[in-house]
Structure 1
Amino acid sequence: MTTADSAGAGRSTSRERLAPRLRAAIRRRLGIDPRALAAFRIALGVVLLVDLALRARNLTAFYTDAGVLPRATLAEARPLGARLSLHALSGDPRVVSLLFALAAVVAVALAVGYRTRVATAVSLLLLASLQARNPFVLNAGDTLLLQLLGAGLLCPLGARWSLDAVRRSGAEIADSTTDSPESTAATPADRVAVAADRVAGPASALLLSLAVVVYVSNAVAKFRGTTWPAGEAVGLVFRLTYLHGPLGGLVPEWPVLLSAATYGWLALLVASPLLIAAAGRIRAALAGTLLAAHLSMALTLQIGVFSVVSATALVPFFPPFVWDRVERAVAPAAERLRRLPGPSGTAGPPIGDGPIRVLRGWAAAAVPALAAVLLVALVAWNGMALGLVEAPGPVASVSDPTERGWDMFAPDPPSTDALVLATATTADGDRIDALYGDRVARDRPPSDARAYPTARWRKFLTRLADDPGPNRVGPVLAHFCDRAAEFAGEDGAPIRSVTVSAVDVDVETGETRVDELGTRSCSTP
């Protein structure tokens, strides 16, 4: 063998050794433990149930014709959403309640892993419909939740810790006694996931990228402001009383602590690409720190489901050694559950080689290609939202990406406390707070303005203050007339009128500005 031949053989051998290592490194970073996908599925189901429960408190107010956004108003403001939303087919609270109940049942099915792909698809459909019914109460968490469901639909969420896995296991045992070649209860992707230590491919990369894109986009937006780099942003956020959560008012006003929190959160956002670039304990530590930070936000800030949705998005990042410990911890309880009478494990009649099997094969083959397209679209859209990439003409003609970025508290937090005065006057001259129902002073001063009962009321009313058109203000005042009448009760005096005003208080100077959004006569005294 010549020297050249030896050198060529050496390079070939090096490439042969390098390729498996490179594939293994990529798999460690873009792959997801099937048990992490199972925990992610459970968290998704729980978050959907929590979201439905929180929304149900104001079901009539936000999703019926008797509320602040009747279907006619929705059709004028968002015609496409009005046409596509199942929740806009009827303005009757009973019909909307049935849709809420259906969504809850499907969310439970998703959490326990029963017909997982069907449950995920139906949950995605119902959530999109619900969000389209009232887009004025949504925040970034709602958008992220919808995207997580869509990405989860492309992953084998039911491969582990699910009723589907139990049924599949029973079917495989039955098949082994009848020499059946394979179980008919699982898709090819699910069968691969059961055997593999990680699920890796475009679908897993898409799911992981969702959270990282949010963090990176938000970090870029924050550095374009002044308060985050100066360490002042968190202190400014907690001076906004309308954003206070259950423990928000208890956060100490220590400049050093608040500055450290500002820089700490900014550092986590900057480090977020390590969620994909790193592996093992570094990834676990970063994901755990971010998860803890989001849960602390849920206690201190009134930001709806954003915190728990963000925490759910972090679950797939935890590596196998975390789930090994989880399984060891729950092993005694799991063993007791296995001893209980359960499903027979039969998977129904074999599908055979008919058209359904062919369609499932085609669908399984199309998933990676679809996930790859969505991944490219995700990165491109957020690049356009940040102004890093110019939006093509067809995209710009339909929507402005810069208006749909992940700019939570960026580039700077608001500098005004946005409050609301919703005052109903009775025929006797008494005053009732139309949002809360308690009595207020006859000459209610702006300083008596209050925050909002829920994060969705805050979103709706602050957006109304930004765009107080008569077509939107009218239904709101009509709803507050009815709401105040319920608070007054049958024995109370009739409600004569309702007035709603937006109150902005500058947190630096204390300067107060009052903008009356509208007044409506409710009844004749």
Structure 2
Amino acid sequence: MLPKLPGLQNPFALDLRALALLRIATGAVVLTDLAIRSTDLEAHYTNLGVLPLHVLFQFCWNPYEFSLHTSSGLWAVQAMWFGLAALAAVAVLLGYKTRWATALSWLLLISLQNRNPLIVQGGDDLLRMLLFWGLFLPWGRVYSLDSHRQPLPSSYRYISAATVAYVVQLALVYWCTALLKNSPEWNHDGTAIYYALSLDQILMPLGRWLYPHAELLRGLTLLTYYTELLLPFLLFLPFRTAWWRLLFVGVLYAFHLGISLTLFVGLFYLINMASVLGLLPPSVLSRLAHWLRPRWTRLAARTHAWRSAWARWQPIQVSVQGRTAPTGSRRPLRHLRDVAVSVLLVYICWWNLDTLPQFRWKMAEPVRWFGYLFRVDQRWGMFAPAVFKDDGWFIMEGTTATGQRLDLNRSGRPVSYAKPASVVALFKNDRWRKYTENYLFVTNSYMRPYYCNYLLRIWHQNPAHPPLRQLEVVYMKEISLPDYQVARPTREVLCSCAPK
């Protein structure tokens, strides 16, 4: 903790209402993630899909990991785990049995991510860590069903080792992202965003509009790099902390909103926008509560239960004297928890530093078991160290008994090797985009026959579809070249399969 000197403030002091908003947003994102994943429950999580259990254990499994979802390859069992995860996420959102609900939601999220690591992206690591640190934060103290059974807090101001960990975790995300981008295209040439927007697999409409403006892209590249590198320092300034935090949140909201409009990144931007809500200063939260009061009152007037609930949402005088002292019986437990969180934070900082090529004191392999088991392992290498140059699109080329060639990736239309108007539109969601990205790597060649056979089986399930005697997974590879040069696409057959 910082000493109480005139004009200095503790940069790790957070508002209980902000933590509650962080909890609500995290629960909502987990529910959204489950809803999207559930549309591919058979394809991504059962033995009839693209990653049967025996393939997962043979090629993708870390012996320190665990997954309840690997208890069975049946659709019904996966649906049961999804339903339980959704209930836990709703409980987190509403703040019902918050600590237990957070633990269960975190456990089931780890289990889900471990079941199919081929569709996991960087935002999933952050979502997992939000729930992990939420285990130690009092984010159910207000704006929750639990708070109805508790006295009003004497102060919304809260400081603990967990608030330090939360703030440091946010800083690590952006610092490590920037430090891993150690190629000239990020910090010297300024061509990284040009190459990112050259990837038709993730190009969105705003990105297409920005793409022709080379000087603008160079400026945006350098702005992105130095924003990620320098912005986190604002979180540790011990003066005018409310103003700096508001600037931090505002810049990141604009930053991630811009990413979502230019690049197809799935829930990545929503997870990052949710993650910074715990930094909102008291002045903003008081104004928000004042704006919501009349609207809530109109709803609360309908029933006595709702009127009682509103009493727990009333703004109170924000104290700057520190958090309420714990009772004597709980003080040792809180100290023990703070010590445990401090040790965890040191471990996680070490893990993050270990991912940087500039760091010399590498983590020994025997020490990593904890990170794998509790999934506090993390790497923030988005477009790092450089942007991929291999671009292209998939053609699922099926050949009928009469020799007709159909593209299963475009609802069975006749095969065309011309680039689609929108390559992004070929993906059902970002999970499939991530899967096909991993599908390209030679080290993941074991994936290829399972995807090919899955597509073939799904096609033949519809009696209206003509039978196929062969299916080829074709990748039209198009290398991104500098200075708006256009490469000629080359046809690569990644896999071929036939009905058994």
Query: Which of 210, 217, 230 lines up with 2:176 in the alignment?
Result: 217
Aligned partner of 1:54: which letter?
A: I
Are the equivalent residues in 1 in contact too, given 2:46–2:74 (CA < 8 A)?
Answer: yes
SS in 2 for 1:160: coil
What is the distance in 2 between the residues matched to 1:200 and 1:297?
Answer: 33
Deviations 1:471-524 (A, max 9, x none): 4322211101112224xx31332122211133321122414344322100025x
Query: Which of 280, 285, 288 lines up with 2:247 in the alignment?
Result: 285
Deviations 1:347-394 (A, max 9, x none): xxxxxxxxxx99987754432112101111121111111031321434
Residue 314 of structure 1 is matched in structure 2 by: 276
Residue 518 of structure 1 is matched in structure 2 by: 495
What is the distance in 2 between the residues matched to 1:359 and 1:93?
Answer: 48
Aligned partner of 1:367: which letter?
A: R
Residue 177 of structure 1 is matched in structure 2 by: none
What is the distance in 1 between the residues matched to 2:383 and 2:368?
Answer: 28
- Percent identity, please: 29
Distance 1:410 1:325, change over 3 A: same
Q: Does 2:422 correspond to 1:440? A: no
Q: Does 2:468 correspond to 1:495? A: yes
Are the equivalent residues in 2 in contact too, given 1:82–1:133 (CA < 8 A)?
Answer: no
Are the equivalent residues in 1 in contact too, given 2:351–2:378 (CA < 8 A)?
Answer: no
Residue 90 of structure 2 is matched in structure 1 by: 108
Residue 485 of structure 1 is matched in structure 2 by: 460
What is the distance in 1 between the residues matched to 2:14 and 2:362?
Answer: 32
Greater CA drift, 444-453 or 158-167: 444-453
Q: Does 2:364 correspond to 1:393? A: yes
Distance 1:19 1:520, change over 3 A: closer
Query: Which of 370, 382, 387 lines up with 1:408 in the alignment?
Result: 382
The number of residue pairs the alignment matches comes to 465
Q: Does 2:400 correspond to 1:426? A: yes
Structure 2's unaligned 5+ residue stretches are 310-326
Distance 1:197 1:296, change over 3 A: same
Shift of 1:222: 2.1
Query: Which of 187, 192, 214 lines up with 1:233 in the alignment?
Result: 192
Shift of 1:289: 1.2
Distance 1:246 1:110, change over 3 A: farther
Greater Cα radius of gyration, structure 1 or 2: 1
Runs of 4+ in 1 over 6 A off after TM superposition: 357-362, 396-401
Greater CA drift, 493-502 or 156-165: 493-502
What is the distance in 1 between the residues matched to 2:284 and 2:179?
Answer: 31
SS in 1 for 2:337: helix
Are the equivalent residues in 1 in contact too, given 2:200–2:423 (CA < 8 A)?
Answer: no
Higher helix share: 1
TM-score (norm 1): 0.81
What is the distance in 2 between the residues matched to 1:460 and 1:264?
Answer: 30
Are the equivalent residues in 1 in contact too, given 2:395–2:475 (CA < 8 A)?
Answer: yes
What is the distance in 2 between the residues matched to 1:397 and 1:83?
Answer: 11
What is the distance in 1 between the residues matched to 2:293 and 2:270?
Answer: 26
Higher RCO by CA contacts (8 Å cutoff, separation 6 or greater): 2
Distance 1:492 1:464, change over 3 A: closer
Residue 138 of structure 2 is matched in structure 1 by: 156
Are the equivalent residues in 1 in contact too, given 2:96–2:145 (CA < 8 A)?
Answer: yes
Aligned partner of 1:318: which letter?
A: L
What is the distance in 2 between the residues matched to 1:234 and 1:436?
Answer: 29
Aligned partner of 2:60: which letter?
A: R
Greater CA drift, 456-465 or 76-85: 76-85
SS in 2 for 1:417: strand
Shift of 1:158: 0.5
Distance 1:503 1:491, change over 3 A: closer
Are the equivalent residues in 2 in contact too, given 1:64–1:96 (CA < 8 A)?
Answer: yes
Query: Which of 302, 313, 336 lines up with 1:366 in the alignment?
Result: 336
Shift of 1:446: 6.8
Distance 1:468 1:219, change over 3 A: closer
Distance 1:290 1:392, change over 3 A: closer
Q: Does 2:124 correspond to 1:165? A: no
What is the distance in 2 between the residues matched to 1:152 and 1:317?
Answer: 14
Aligned partner of 2:304: which letter?
A: P
What is the distance in 2 between the residues matched to 1:440 and 1:358?
Answer: 75
Aligned partner of 1:211: which letter?
A: L
What is the distance in 1 between the residues matched to 2:228 and 2:450?
Answer: 41
Are the equivalent residues in 1 in contact too, given 2:459–2:465 (CA < 8 A)?
Answer: no
Query: Which of 244, 266, 277 lines up with 2:225 in the alignment?
Result: 266
Distance 1:435 1:90, change over 3 A: farther
Distance 1:491 1:20, change over 3 A: closer
Distance 1:497 1:230, change over 3 A: same
Distance 1:476 1:98, change over 3 A: same
Are the equivalent residues in 1 in contact too, given 2:393–2:419 (CA < 8 A)?
Answer: no
Shift of 1:297: 1.5
What is the distance in 2 between the residues matched to 1:231 and 1:492?
Answer: 49
Query: Which of 138, 155, 163 lines up with 1:196 in the alignment?
Result: 155
What is the distance in 1 between the residues matched to 2:328 and 2:78?
Answer: 37
Distance 1:267 1:393, change over 3 A: closer
What is the distance in 2 between the residues matched to 1:365 and 1:375?
Answer: 15
Are the equivalent residues in 1 in contact too, given 2:396–2:407 (CA < 8 A)?
Answer: yes
Aligned partner of 2:96: which letter?
A: Y
What is the distance in 1 between the residues matched to 2:395 and 2:63?
Answer: 30
What is the distance in 1 between the residues matched to 2:404 and 2:393?
Answer: 22
What is the distance in 1 between the residues matched to 2:70 and 2:204?
Answer: 31
Distance 1:412 1:46, change over 3 A: same
Aligned partner of 1:512: which letter?
A: P
Are the equivalent residues in 1 in contact too, given 2:400–2:469 (CA < 8 A)?
Answer: yes
Structure 1's unaligned 5+ residue stretches are 1-17, 170-190, 346-356
Are the equivalent residues in 2 in contact too, given 1:223–1:229 (CA < 8 A)?
Answer: no
Are the equivalent residues in 2 in contact too, given 1:201–1:368 (CA < 8 A)?
Answer: yes
